[in-house]
Amino acid sequence: MKKLLDIINTVLANRQKQTIESIAPESSLRNDLGFDSLDLAELTVRIEVEYDVDIFEDGVVTTVGEILEKIN
């Protein structure tokens, strides 16, 4: 989960948004982390590069836990 937190914080920092110290499986990408569609696009690319997984291949992903299911 540390690597995913690092990726999320990279996306947030790139968009001049506040980084976070921790994530939980129930954390909402939009509501809790403040992601917008551009953030989600960057997150998708970074996760695909790191894990070789398209997290949106089967539909919309809305929580950290859904991402964890796809990369594990």
Q: How far apart are CA 66 and CA 60, in angstroms?
A: 9
What does the pLDDT read at residue 8? 97
What does the pLDDT read at residue 72? 87
What does the pLDDT read at residue 48? 96
Q: How far apart are CA 48 and CA 42, in angstroms?
A: 10
Q: Domains in the chain, please, with CATH?
A: 2-71 (1.10.1200.10)
Q: Return the higher-pLDDT residue of 46 and 60.
A: 46
Instruction: Name, in order, each residue with C-beta under 8 angstroms of 7's C-beta and a sequence gap of 6 or more.
Output: 43, 46, 47, 50
The whole-model pTM stands at 0.92
Q: What is the pLDDT of residues 1-46, one digit of tens each?
A: 899 999 999 999 999 999 999 999 999 999 999 999 999 999 999 9
Among 37, 51, 57, 58, CA closest to 68: 51
What does the pLDDT read at residue 33? 96
What's the start-to-end Cα distance of the chain, in Å?
10
